[in-house]
Amino acid sequence: MDVNNAAGRLLNILSEGKKANPTENCKKVWCRILDVEESDSLILVGRIGKVFSLVEDISIELSQLEGVDVSRYMSWTRYLDNAFSNCNLGSAWNEFMKHVNEPVFDYLHMTAGMLSTNRPQPVLPQSELSEIYSGAKELLDEIINSDLPSNIRQYFAEQLRKIIISIEEYKITGSSEVVSIVEATFGKAVLSKDLIDGKDTNTDMKKFWTFMAKTALVVSTVAGALQIADYTAKTFPELNTPEKVINIPIENSKLESV
């Protein structure tokens, strides 16, 4: 199933779980499915929580469709609620999966098909994700060890970490997180011009913004035009093409706290 909607992503994750050994340790199975080291318990719990939050994402997406009775498509959630409520990482995997019956898979498959047709989300190719991921990790080390002012160094590092995490969690959250981070990072430049004042003269700053611009172009290829404020679009002419960017007047732009 394509990962272009929340129902499809949840279906994929549960389908992986369905194939796992029912007697295997619950934590081990979740770590394998969500690609988490067994020693990273906090990260694992956070990702499991994000898997469960896909239920709300599905409901929100369905509510955007005209003439759809959301409750009809969400009746399966009580089974999943029982599964997560009784999820004990120290127990056997079957203690979780025994609550996830066939109706859950049937409804998810039906819902995923509907959302794939009517509310499709962009899908980033794995090759592009891998390139962005490796580029962000490499650049993060350089930024951390750079001579940039501490506030700029900290902000650049935070944004790179967010991109890294969004790609690590791509099978859960999809492309929306990557898109949001890219738009927010460029949007921040509207209020904090010190973040870009040296982008053409400072080597480390130039590397960061070059990476972000390339990432933005990759994302816009599949996600459509990015929403970038006028000032930022003029500062980064490589983004300023009609099909890649929607220019927003500064006073109307929605800037996230990042």
Burial class (CB in 10 A: 0-12, 13-18, 19+), 103: exposed
Last residue of a domain, one of 118, 151, 167: 118
Residues 202, 148 contacting (CB under 8 angstroms) = yes
Residue 130 and residue 245 in one domain:
yes
Q: What are phi and psi for residue 136, nearest 5 degrees?
A: -65, -40
Domain boundary among 74, 97, 118: 118
**pLDDT reading at 249 higher than 50:** no
The contacts of residue 3 (CB under 8 Å, 6+ apart) are: 9, 12, 123, 170, 171, 174
Residue 168 lies in a domain: yes
Q: Phi-psi region for residue 97, left (φ > 0), alpha (ψ -120 to 50) or beta?
A: alpha
Total domains in the chain come to 2
Report the Cα 115 to chain-centroid distance in Å: 18
DSSP state of 256: -
pLDDT at 153 exceeding the cut of 60: yes
Which of 118, 139, 155 lies at the terminal end of a domain, its last residue? Answer: 118
Q: Name the residue range of residue 242's domain.
A: 126-252
On whether both 140 and 92 belong to a single domain, the answer is no
For the cut 70, the answer to whether the pLDDT of residue 128 exceeds it is: yes
CA gap 19, 28 in Å, rounded: 14
245 found inside a domain: yes
Q: Are residues 198 and 223 in the same domain?
A: yes
- Residue 233 has what pLDDT? 65
pLDDT in the model for residue 224? 62
What is this structure's pTM? 0.85
Backbone angles phi, psi at 231, to 5 degrees: -60, -45
Give the burial class of 150: count Cβ atoms within 10 A of its Cβ; 0-12 exposed, 13-18 middle, 19 or more buried.
exposed
Q: Is 173 inside any structural domain?
A: yes
Are residues 132 and 103 both part of a single domain?
A: no
**In terms of C-beta density within 10 A (0-12 exposed, 13-18 middle, 19 or more buried), how is residue 220 classed?**
buried
